[in-house]
Amino acid sequence: MAGAVALSVAGAALSLNGVLRGWAWYLPVLTTVMVVCFSIATLRALRAHPLLVAAGGFGSLIAILTLTFFRSTAIVGFIPSGATFTEVGKFIRRASETVLAESAPVAPNAGIVMVTCTALGLTVILIDALAVPLGMPATTGLGLLAILVVPATVKPQSVGFWGFSATVAGYLLILAGAQWFAPDSRTSADSGRNPGHVRRAMLTGIVALVATLAVPLAIPGFDHGTFPQGSRVNPWGAGTGLNPMITLGNSLRTPAGSGRITYATNSATPVYLRSVTVDNFDGDSWGPDDRDAERRPVAGQIEAGYEISAEEQVRQVTAVDTGSFTSPYLPLPYAPESIRGLNGAWTLDPATLAVKGSNTNSRAQQYLVVSSMPKITATALQQSSPAVRGISADFTRVPGNVPDIVRSTADAVTASSTTEYAKAVAIQKYLRSGEFTYSLQSPVQGGYDGNGLSVLADFLTQKSGYCIHYSSAMAVMARLEGIPSRIAVGYAPGRATGSTVSVAGQGALPEYEVDARDAHAWPELYFQGLGWVPFEPTPSRGVVPAYSTEAATPGAPGLFDGNG
């Protein structure tokens, strides 16, 4: 029975890929399921009382969770201490913040994985209790259904073939195995031991499994989830954050904006608010690299982790009120020099200047940001040295599996360009040309909503998509042409509220607002001496910087010009 329960629960967990990003979370989940099943099977083999079997299952679950997630605070590694329970609370808060802030697929951080392991371990204990001591094996399907309902409602591809197949196979084995534990299983009339009954039961199960898998494929709509990509099943309340996994389509398709942020700035034009960057373009689902080992506390003056040699700097002062916006990442104008007024502990990635909370989030934060950027002009970009120094190789690494259409397009678009700046302008011009159309629906209808290299190939073929497709295309093509690049995720400038905000030392500044409908992604390209320079390849979104247009001339104003 333990093997059948393990197969069904571990099989159902396969369907959570796509709800959780990647597969790194599956090993601790599988380990938890196997340990609990083994403990229950051992106690039952020793003919322990059913209550003792269940208690042993709980004990083994607590032990494996402690060993996996809280070893440093535990007694002899697997017995919880008082400090362990404090850590448990932190993990649960981190999990709730992730669910509130992100859309599927969510980042499999330690909090999320711990909650998942706990839920599946408890499911094992419940299923075993229903199947054996309570003698209700058919009802074990409810526990398995509770696992499957999450991917069925969240993922566009629903549960998936392998997850569903393994779950059904395990469930059939539970039904068959329950015969051996039935009160009359030792009588000669036990149909579970009759070879003829067993063969008929197996045949019926196989036919039912095949029919269950095959029939939905022939009925339109049955192979998709109930809700579009980016939906949430959220036990902690309504989500109002920005998904740094850059599945932004769901936010942009929201008819009424959520997660409203207001800001007041002395900039002559509204500013982009940047939360996080993405620089790892490997695999089928991209996300931010938090570089936790390199992060440092936010305190005092913030130094950029790269060389800036431009003499003229443009400074801005921006007061931000996050309201109900909830995210582990802080929305900021780039590049921050100082941040004052934050509540809680926050850390900074020196390579990207992205700010992330440590057991805190952005909800109800009010803070003042002083930011600074070089005065960027077409002339400065044209004269920038092609030799890049002082930045991580993460920003120049080209994935080995770049589709041919991406390489050939980059080569064709930049064929006549002789400088990195000219190549960048050529790529932006191509993506903003009449060949491409901005659409939130085309990627959904065409099956390439989201991010990843395979999605990028589909986008360049269909030539229709939204910001994540355009920014990804420009960032990857820039790297192919030798230009360091990354994708910034945050908010387009938004709109004026008509109000002003009094800011110390600045007087009354005009106020602007953004919400989920302004969620945006844009590429940043690195130019020696100037740092990370934003571009805007997405048509109908954001503000095209003057220095990046073909009409840019020496002395033309840059995106950040116009401030005193």
Q: How far apart, in whole angstroms, are the C-alpha atoms of residue 378 and residue 357?
A: 36
What are the boundaries of each domain within the chain?
2-218, 249-548
pLDDT of residue 216: 46
Using DSSP bridges, classify how beta strands 313-321 and 355-358 pair: parallel, antiparallel or unpaired: unpaired
Listed residue (512, 534, 505, 514) closest to 268, CA to CA: 512
Inform me whether the pLDDT recorded for 228 exceeds 50: no
pLDDT in tens, 169-214: 888 888 777 666 555 544 444 444 455 555 555 555 555 555 555 5
CATH code reported for the domain at 249-548: 3.10.620.30
Cα angle vertex 470, ends 313, 284, to 5°?
A: 115
pLDDT of residue 192: 44
The mean pLDDT value for 247-253 works out to 55
Q: How far apart, in whole angstroms, are the C-alpha atoms of residue 366 and residue 263?
A: 9
pLDDT in tens, 39-64: 999 998 898 898 999 999 999 999 99
**DSSP-derived 3-state class of residue 250:** helix
pLDDT of residue 439: 87
| CA end-to-end span of the chain | 74
Q: How far apart, in whole angstroms, are the C-alpha atoms of residue 524 and residue 306?
A: 14
Q: How far apart, in whole angstroms, are the C-alpha atoms of residue 526 and residue 391?
A: 9
CB atoms within 10 A of CB 203: 10
pLDDT of residue 229: 38
Inform me whether the pLDDT recorded for 250 exceeds 50: yes
Candidate ranges 291-300, 438-447, 549-558; pick with highest mean pLDDT: 291-300
**DSSP-derived 3-state class of residue 199:** helix
Say if CB 176 and CB 7 are below 8 A apart: no
pLDDT in tens, 135-179: 888 888 888 888 888 887 776 566 777 878 888 888 888 877 766
Listed residue (112, 175, 166, 101) closest to 138, CA to CA: 175
The mean pLDDT value for 71-91 works out to 88
CA atoms lying within 13 Å on the CB side of residue 338: 8
pLDDT of residue 263: 96
Using DSSP bridges, classify how beta strands 495-503 and 507-514 pair: parallel, antiparallel or unpaired: antiparallel
